[in-house]
Amino acid sequence: MAAGGGPSKADDPPPHPPKDQLQNVSYCITSPPPWPEAMLLGFQHYLLMLGTTVLIPTALVPQMGGGNDEKAQVIQTLLLVTGLNTLLQTMFGTRLPAVIGGSFTFVAPTISIILAGRYSNIPDPVAKFKRIMRGIQGALIVASALQIVLGFSGLWRNVTRFLSPLSAVPLIALVGFGLYELGFPGVAKCVEIGLPELIILVLIAQYLPRFVKFGNHVFERFAVILSVMIVWLYAYILTVGGAYNNAAPKTQNTCRTDRAGLINAAPWIRVPYPFQWGPPTFDAGEAFAMMFASFVSLVESTGAFIAVSRSASATPLPPSILSRGVGWQGLGILLSGLFGTVTGSSVLVENAGLLALTRVGSRRVVQISAGFMIFFSILGKFGAIFASIPPSIAAALYCVFFAYVGSVGVSFLQFCNLNSFRTIFVLGFSIFLGLSVPHYFNEHTAIHGFGPVHTGARWVMHFIFIF
């Protein structure tokens, strides 16, 4: 009681009480929107995941000796496998609205395979590409066993039982904020296109609904489609108007809408199939390095699954469901190895952020997006049109959606005792080292050309870099 006899302020409820589920989600997992709206929302998820799907093969295929034809075929294959993995995850895995696509975590061991000495003496670029692809497939097939065993055996369930709200904060926050290198640095590569996309996306999603009362949900739910259409048209006008005719080749490749080389290279109809590049080859060291990449993606996907669950206003995930989802993700990596997608699979963080922006966590929407992935992976020309979006537009989208996922992790602080010095230490120490240690490795590699541990075995260095 206060001195005057009334109730003390300490007895008043907090202004924002902790809630296990977000309350302002329009459509939860089992409540799909009307079919026309669900189709548009599904296409929006497809449009967003194209950035990662195009970026990884574009960076790796030329190093493997492949040209535009091989790059288009790898993108088609990655699209098909992403669609299949998303359907499997939403139907049999966690059954969350999570998109399972290509992962940047597997890029480091993939580059290790590309730089292996046994491929350097192959004169034909296409033959070299196929040989390297078969080596990557073998490593992915072996690496998939790690998640399959940990997931379906229940071992990962025993680990996730110890996940507390405090441990979830750095886990999820670093999944989102840790991808900052893919955000504004990509926008700055073509700032006259990337920056307008970032500004228009924020204006449409966050400010127009406050001023336009009629149909304001349209701006919140379809901000990606609206902003990408506006800026893509603007970029096309700059391209045909000759704004980049005298620009440097690097600027033209980043800013022009006709330099991706996918539309001409993509076939009209092509169905990717397993072992399309030939039988996989196996190397123990490369498979070992890829297994550690698989473990890192397992940890990242665990955080992303929790973020998807919260953004979709689902109940907290039981450890058994998380373990089952990891097992099905392992099968997804196996499919990546069988089909030959250059990289393994994990939960796409940007699509997890889109759930928070649209406030639509419907499972059906993500399954529709998987249908778009499979459809456009077969009709190559049509899929290549959308895949030719300038990369700076995708980078601007990442700035928003990676931030959303990181903030979802921060939101778990409401369940923590922030008046405890131990809580403050664990939180600050984990986040600081989670950012500082990778920066040290990147800085050392940029200066010296190799990591802190320098050995003759390239796969060992990449293993340490990944871990």
> Looking at residue 1, what is its pLDDT?
44
Q: What is the pLDDT of residues 332-388, one digit of tens each?
A: 999 999 999 999 999 999 999 999 999 999 999 999 999 999 999 998 888 888 888
Rounded CA separation 130/139 (Å): 14
DSSP state of 100: E
Higher pLDDT, 245 or 372: 372
pLDDT greater than 90 at residue 460: no
Q: What are phi and psi of 360, to 5 degrees?
A: -125, 110
Rounded CA separation 327/151 (Å): 4
35 Cβ contact partners less than 8 Å away, ≥ 6 residues apart: none
Please give the share of the chain, as a percent, with pLDDT higher than 90: 60
Mean pLDDT of 37-49: 95
> Looking at residue 422, what is its pLDDT?
92
Mean pLDDT of 117-140: 92
Which letter, b or e, does each residue of 203-226 get, where b requires 16 or more Cβ atoms within 10 Å of its Cβ?
ebbeeebeeeeeeeebbbbbbbbb
> Looking at residue 445, what is its pLDDT?
66
Ranked by mean pLDDT, the top range of 138-147, 276-285, 414-423 is 138-147
> Looking at residue 267, what is its pLDDT?
87
pLDDT greater than 70 at residue 196: yes
pLDDT greater than 70 at residue 216: no
Higher pLDDT, 57 or 3: 57
Please tell me the least confidently modeled range out of 63-67, 267-271, 456-460.
456-460
Q: Return the closest-CA partner of residue 431 out of 224, 186, 234, 167.
A: 167
Mean pLDDT of 174-179: 89
pLDDT greater than 60 at residue 259: yes
Q: 312 and 355 in contact (C-beta within 8 Å)?
A: yes
Mean pLDDT of 417-443: 86
Please tell me the least confidently modeled range out of 73-77, 226-230, 339-343, 381-385.
381-385
Q: What are phi and psi of 153, to 5 degrees?
A: -80, -15
Higher pLDDT, 366 or 415: 366
Mean pLDDT of 439-466: 63
Mean pLDDT of 139-154: 95
pLDDT greater than 90 at residue 318: yes
> Looking at residue 9, what is its pLDDT?
56
Work out the pLDDT band at 3, boundaries 50, 70, 90: very low
- DSSP state string for 289-331: HHHHHHHHHHHHHHHHHHHHHHHTTPPPPPHHHHHHHHHHHHH
> Looking at residue 459, what is its pLDDT?
53
> Looking at residue 212, what is its pLDDT?
78
Work out the pLDDT band at 242, boundaries 50, 70, 90: confident
> Looking at residue 12, what is its pLDDT?
62
Q: 196 and 219 in contact (C-beta within 8 Å)?
A: no
pLDDT greater than 80 at residue 464: no
Please tell me the least confidently modeled range out of 11-25, 113-127, 224-238.
11-25
Mean pLDDT of the chain: 88
Position 148: which residue type? I
Q: What are the extents of the domains in the chain?
A: 26-410
Ranked by mean pLDDT, the top range of 16-30, 60-74, 210-224 is 60-74
Mean pLDDT of 260-265: 77
- DSSP state string for 130-161: HHHHHHHHHHHHHHHHHHHHHHHTSHHHHHHT
88 Cβ contact partners less than 8 Å away, ≥ 6 residues apart: 100, 328, 331, 332
Higher pLDDT, 459 or 240: 240
